[in-house]
């Protein structure tokens, strides 16, 4: 059958630039950069897709449910969200480290049973950047949802007890669905401690505050009119304080992690051999389109130009997350002086929700020092929170940036372009094009000292998650290049 969903993204992107190779350097035309964020008319997907298309939009896009009313986050807010994300990841890792290592045949620690989520889901406000319109229930109620690797899919459900960010009128209404089922405590999918006839209820809380509560339910998930998943389990949130301070675009998330209940796991269970779990493209420009594909056929990539395969590795400190085997970083062709073991020590996670890339602190310091040497001709600008390598480009016509290359354990390399490693501040300051920062920071969260590849560094490549084959493919030719 080969269910294949090519999902259109319309994206409002923060960095717009053309690059032209000049030997080992690039220049960034000021005039192209000054085109800034295009406001050209965009065709927005309306409601559920037909055929096998599922619309996916950036939350700042004119196509987002908040439309043009969506407030742009300041850089500080973006950084704050990344900080919260790191804290979340570190807590999940701590919890996993404290728990006995799951054996492969045992019930995996799904999002439904990750104890650390009690405190930490609340730490996620606004970290997600892309929403997808998916249907839940029969008939399908179209809902704006994030996609992430958090280990559990959640929806805000009616009746709503109190407001986080999402308005209750967007929430899922179980009473209007004929296929809605509540799980009971006795169900194997319910990991909560409760009596066997009661609904499978959960509460996320710390000692002083309840972030959310709800029940685990199942219903039909509809990605498009031709792709549905019956009895898809989600946390149906009654009390939802998780997204306080969030823009309130989405009413939940679809989990694509390795968790037993994730959509990725479900897709793999029902797909023919030779199928990847999913792929996505996060384009770097406003006027290029990206996509999310569920269950893409692997042979489709064998002839794609520039495709590179990198092993996906598992990491006991985050068994539901996706890690790659990063072993070196080169700047202008010279590897930073760290052995592969140093890069591998705490792993390199791929995360679609943090904006920037975070490195183990000594590795980041070495990259920063080399970058500063290569950028010595430009006046520095003040640091902004986690981004401490910033420049004042006022009056500069062309910016010459060093090359940055990621090297992986199987010998593959990824050359980053400036749209992947530079963050320009057009959006946040009055000036047209005054500042830019290296979009990398130190993973300074005390329990997250590994590396994390954020969404910006993944832009311009289609990223194919071949979970069964334990590899991830980076496909530059199919992702939003102009
Ligand atoms: C519980 O979480 C709330 C909200 O984030 C926070 O204000 C409070 O300090 C936390 N309590 C403890 C004991 O950590
Ligand atoms: C969630 O909290 C509200 C308000 O305290 C309560 O009325 C409701 O029963 C709780 N729901 C669950 C599933 O625990
Ligand atoms: C950036 O440089 C311009 C031109 O030299 C200067 O006028 C401006 O004050 C600088 N801005 C900051 C924040 O340093
Ligand atoms: C790995 O993380 C632990 C804490 O989680 C830290 O103590 C250790 O220094 C880290 N290793 C490296 C090489 O950064």
Question: How does pLDDT run across 295-348, given as a tens digit for each residue?
Answer: 888 988 888 888 999 999 998 878 888 999 999 999 999 999 999 999 999 899
Instruction: Quickly list DSSP for 406-420.
Output: EEETTS-EEEEPHHH
Q: What is the pLDDT of residue 196?
A: 77
Q: Is 373 helix (H, G, I), strand (E, B) or coil?
A: helix
* Ligand having the closest approach to the CA of 433: 3
Q: How far apart are CA 248 and CA 66, in angstroms?
A: 8
- Quote the pLDDT of residue 447: 66
Contacts of 448 (CB under 8 A, 6+ apart): 86, 87, 89, 90, 93, 346, 358
- 395 CB within 6 A, ligand 3: yes
Is ligand 2 within 6 A of the CB of residue 239? yes
Give the three-state DSSP class for 201: strand
Active site residue 351: yes
- Supply the pLDDT for residue 26: 39
Please tell me if the CB atom of residue 447 comes closer than 6 angstroms to any atom of ligand 4: yes
- At 228 the pLDDT is 84
Question: 225 near 212, Cβ under 8 Å?
Answer: no
The CA 194 to ligand 2 mean position distance, Å, reads 15
Q: Is 148 a catalytic residue?
A: yes
Which of left, alpha, beta for 347 (phi over 0: left; psi -120 to 50: alpha)? Answer: left
Ligand in closest contact with the CA of 395? 3
- CA–centroid distance, 117 to ligand 1, in Å, is 14
Low-confidence stretches of the chain (pLDDT beneath 50): 1-76, 79, 92-128, 244-247, 286-287, 427-432, 482
Q: State the distance from the centre of ligand 1 to the C-alpha of 91, rounded, in angstroms.
A: 14
Binding site membership of 235 for ligand 2 (Cβ less than 6 Å):
no
- pTM of the entire structure? 0.75
- Residue range 186-196, pLDDT digits in tens: 887 776 667 77
Three-class SS of residue 22? strand
pLDDT of residue 122: 25
By C-alpha distance, which of 268, 312, 240, 257 is closest to 109? 257
Residue 129's pLDDT is what? 52
Asked if residue 245 has its Cβ within 6 Å of ligand 1, the reply is no
Please report the pLDDT score of residue 456 as a whole number: 82
Residue 202 has a pLDDT of 80
According to the model, what pLDDT value does residue 118 have?
18
pLDDT for residue 149: 84
C-alpha distances (whole Å) from 36 to each of 70, 107, 287, 331, 401 are: 18, 49, 11, 27, 19
């Amino acid at each position: 059958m080969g269910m294949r969903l090519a999902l259109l993204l319309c994206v409002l992107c923060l960095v717009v630039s053309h690059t032209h190779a000049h030997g080992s350097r690039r220049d960034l035309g000021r005039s192209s950069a000054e085109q800034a964020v295009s406001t050209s008319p965009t065709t927005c997907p309306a409601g559920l897709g037909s055929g096998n298309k599922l619309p996916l939009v950036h939350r700042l896009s004119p196509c987002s449910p908040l439309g043009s009313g969506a407030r742009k986050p300041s850089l500080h807010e973006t950084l704050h969200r990344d900080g919260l994300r790191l804290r979340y990841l570190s807590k999940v890792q701590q919890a996993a480290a404290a728990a006995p290592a799951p054996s492969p045949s045992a019930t995996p620690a799904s999002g439904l049973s990750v104890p650390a989520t009690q405190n930490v889901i609340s730490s996620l406000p606004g970290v997600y950047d892309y929403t997808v319109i998916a249907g839940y229930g029969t008939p399908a109620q179209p809902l704006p949802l994030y996609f992430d690797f958090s280990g559990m899919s959640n929806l805000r459900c009616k009746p709503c007890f109190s407001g986080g960010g999402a308005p209750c009128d967007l929430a899922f209404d179980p009473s209007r669905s004929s296929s809605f089922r509540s799980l009971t405590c006795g169900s194997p999918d319910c990991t909560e401690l409760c009596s066997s006839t009661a609904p499978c209820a959960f509460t996320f809380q710390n000692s002083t505050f309840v972030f959310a509560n709800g029940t685990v339910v199942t219903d039909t998930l509809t990605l498009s009119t031709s792709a549905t998943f019956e009895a898809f389990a989600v946390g149906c949130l009654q009390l939802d304080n998780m997204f306080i301070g969030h823009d309130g675009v989405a009413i939940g998330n679809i989990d694509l992690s390795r968790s037993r209940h994730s959509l990725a796991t479900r897709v793999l269970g029902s797909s023919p051999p030779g199928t990847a779990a999913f792929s996505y493209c996060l384009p770097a420009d406003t006027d290029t389109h990206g996509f999310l594909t569920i269950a893409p056929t692997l042979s489709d990539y064998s002839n794609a130009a520039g495709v590179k395969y990198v092993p996906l590795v598992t990491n006991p400190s985050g068994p539901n997350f996706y890690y790659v085997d990063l072993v070196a970083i080169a700047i202008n062709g010279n590897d930073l002086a760290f052995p592969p073991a140093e890069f591998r020590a705490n792993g390199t996670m791929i995360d679609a929700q943090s904006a920037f890339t975070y490195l183990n602190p000594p590795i980041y310091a070495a990259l920063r020092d080399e970058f500063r040497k290569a950028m010595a001709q430009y006046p520095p600008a003040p640091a902004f929170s986690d981004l401490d390598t910033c420049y004042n480009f006022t009056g500069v016509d062309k910016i010459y940036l060093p090359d940055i290359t990621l090297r992986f354990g199987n010998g593959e390399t990824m050359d980053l372009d400036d749209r992947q490693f530079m963050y320009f501040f057009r959006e946040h300051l009055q000036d047209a094009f005054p500042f830019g920062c290296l979009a990398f920071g130190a993973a300074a969260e005390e329990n997250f000292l590994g590396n994390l590849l954020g969404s910006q560094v993944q832009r311009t490549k289609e990223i194919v998650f071949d979970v069964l084959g334990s590899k991830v493919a980076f496909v530059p030719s199919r992702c939003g290049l102009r």
